[in-house]
Structure 1
Amino acid sequence: MSEHVALLTTGGTIASSRDEHGVSRPVAGAGIDLEGVRVREVMSKDSSALDFWDLDTIRTAVAGALTEDGCVGVVVLHGTDTMEESALYVDLFHDDERPVVFTGAQRTADHPDPDGPGNIAAAVAAAQSERGVLIAFGGRLLPARGAIKMHTTELDAFRSAALLRPKPLQWKPVAGIRVDVVALYPGADGVQIDACVDAGASGIVLEALGSGNTNARVVRAVKHAVDAGVHVVVTTRVPFGETSPTYGGGGGGHDLLNAGAVFSRELRAGQARIQLAALIASEASAMVVHNSFS
């Protein structure tokens, strides 16, 4: 069977058009006809509407495409809102030398000057020559791990911290697992953390301040959550740079560490949540969770 790139469509702006009111909506079928590319529609959803069931579906579709005879790589068309989460999810379990390349668009398919075709061409080229799980977008080819969307509208929207990949995990579905993200701010208290625990969260990701800091009230809530068996991971709202549990004073990163929280050194909240869910699904111990983020 001839070599080919498997192109999986999931929806997003790249597969959307604007209605008479100017509202963008996903439409079925991407209308892609490229030599050496086999297109398969996985779903047609805006990425902001995806849940863990959908991430399991995307990962399963990628794994299935790689079993096809002649498949040299996979391209996933995806909305930009949560592309970094889905790309990392696939990356966490990817143990194949062949590449998986995520791409999408900032402009709809019916835009007078769409960016989707160029991104697709770059992604297909990468799927024929690169390795690992990548994001091809706006002229950049970025590792999935450490990627974040940095701008809401610019065509060159993504950046990546280009972090080293850990050993791939054995895949187990994350559907049904609850991991919440709590954004911290000056004057925050423990109400949201307590609510997550009461709602049955198995994990909580804190988007903390600076290098991973907060206040004493939040630290007390974190200790309560950890004592209740909930994994708590600390990230930061700062786009790049390492977190560091060095500050004390009752609400610093050192205090969060003493309360039982784990510091995500460089993964930001969106990707940290995905990694934590995957680790919980694999029934990882607290020590394994700690080592996975450090």
Structure 2
Amino acid sequence: MAHIRIMATGGTIASRSGKDGATSAERAEELAAGLSGRHGYSVQDLTNVNSFLLRLTDVRLIAEAVRDAVADEGVDGVVITHGTDTMEETAFLLDLVHESPKPVVLTGAQRTADSPMADGPVNLEEAVAAAASSRLRGTGVLISFAGQVLAARGTRKLHTIAASPFGGGVPVAHFTAGVLHITAVPLRPAALPLPGEDFDNARVEIIYCGLGTTPDLLTHAVRSGANAVVLAGTGIGNAGEGFAEAVQDAVRGGCPVILCTRVPSGPVIPTYGAGGGVDLVRAGAIPGGDLGPSQARMLAALLTSLPATQDEILQALTSGTGRTNG
């Protein structure tokens, strides 16, 4: 029998409905009370808010709590209950700094704890089973939800209300009739340093591109003190008139620009000139590869708070691209 540390942060899985809307209410002990007992567990409440209210400080403290938990010889794995709104961001930051082979699994719910069709209990049971699996040692940080287990890197919330809202990441495992089946093992880069207190105040803005948008917001973000900017380009990484010049000014001024895409799936591949990805990269933008804008923002926040050079940011983006064994 494995022993799992269950850490609660709030979210829909812990929420109950009220006249002013659903709010996070239940604690870790209440969430764990319905577990089958196949594995031992201990509980820890880290915070209790819906995940759209989390700050970088909270994510740093979660990372520190995970480090301490996996250092405990009596703990075989960690499960974190978390809101789905920003789960992909917390999971990716944790994966970037996770050194232990012990699995860390995030889960949550799409329906509140007081819903007659609450999905939280099943998701939590499966997450505990994944964290307890010796075959998932060394796979880093995972998201377990609605029967599928995904690598943190590349995973995005793709649907607002679907029972299985996540996709994009490497499918590591899935559950069939309660049995865990391993399908792939991610190849992971070396862990980055744990965030320090400077991470709490890192400013990384996401600028979305669309038909006819101007680079004014990018320029404003740089002038107002952003540590880095993520440019969510169109298609395979493009932007309109004036963006290449704005990127060049930002990079020359010491503000890294990471080029991602606003498209939910697929990598950035600089291909087009005339202000497209080729010109943006030539101006100094760093291609974000397979990372979506929100995960690229977390990486940039960590690296710029360390601090890291433009070349170090490029290296971090080009390592661990989600390749698998299996």
- Indicate whether the TM-score tops 0.5: yes
- In structure 2, the residue matched to 1:166 is 189
CA contact under 8 A between 1:161 and 1:240: conserved in structure 2? no
Contact 2:248 2:284 in 1 (8 A): yes
Partners of 1:140 and 1:77 in 2: how far apart?
Answer: 16
Equivalent residue for 2:213?
Answer: 188
Deviation track 1:39-66 (CA, whole Å, cap 9, x = no partner) reads 1100001111111101101111111111
1:77 pairs with 72, 81, 95, which one?
Answer: 81
Shift of 1:69: 3.4
Match of 1:122 in 2: 126
Q: Look up the match of 1:107.
A: 111
Q: Match of 2:76, SS?
A: strand
Alignment partner of 2:42: what SS? Answer: strand
SS in 2 for 1:196: helix
In 1, distance between residues paired with 2:234 and 2:2? 49
Amino acid at match of 1:167: A
Equivalent residue for 1:259? Answer: 283
CA offset digits 1:59-103 (Å, max 9, x no partner): 111111112231000000000000000000100010100000000
Cα deviation digits, residues 104-132 of structure 1 (max 9, x gap): 00000000010000000000000001232
Separation in 2, partners of 1:247, 1:73: 46
Tell me the TM-score normalized by structure 1. Answer: 0.96
Q: Quote the residue 2:145 is aligned against.
A: 137
Determine the structure 1 residue equivalent to 2:304: 280
Determine the C-alpha separation between the residues in 1 that align with 2:127 and 2:121: 10
- Structure 1, gaps ≥5 residues long: none
Q: TM-score, normalised by structure 2?
A: 0.86
Residue 262 (structure 2) pairs with residue 237 (structure 1): yes
User: What is the CA distance between 1:159 and its match in structure 2?
Assistant: 0.8
Partner of 1:152: 160
| In 2, Cα distance between equivalents of 1:237 and 1:271 | 12
CA RMSD in angstroms comes to 1.4
Tell me if structure 2 keeps the 8 A contact 1:143–1:160: no
TM-aligned CA deviation for residue 161 of structure 1 = 3.2
Q: Could you list the per-position Cα deviations for residues 1-30 of structure 1 after superposition, in whole angstroms to 9, with x for gaps in the alignment?
A: x95100000000000000135x11011414
Structure 2: state its 5+ residue gaps. Answer: 171-185, 319-326
Aligned equivalents of 2:107, 2:71: Cα separation in 1: 21
Q: Is the 8 A contact 1:14 1:77 kept in 2?
A: yes
Identity fraction in percent: 40
Q: What CA distance in whole angstroms lies between the structure 2 residues aligned with 1:42 and 1:200?
A: 31
Cα offsets for 1:109-156 (capped at 9, x unmatched): 000010000000000000001232100001100000110001100111
The equivalent of 2:176 in structure 1 is: none
Question: 3-state DSSP class of the match of 2:201?
Answer: coil
| SS state at 1:216 partner | coil
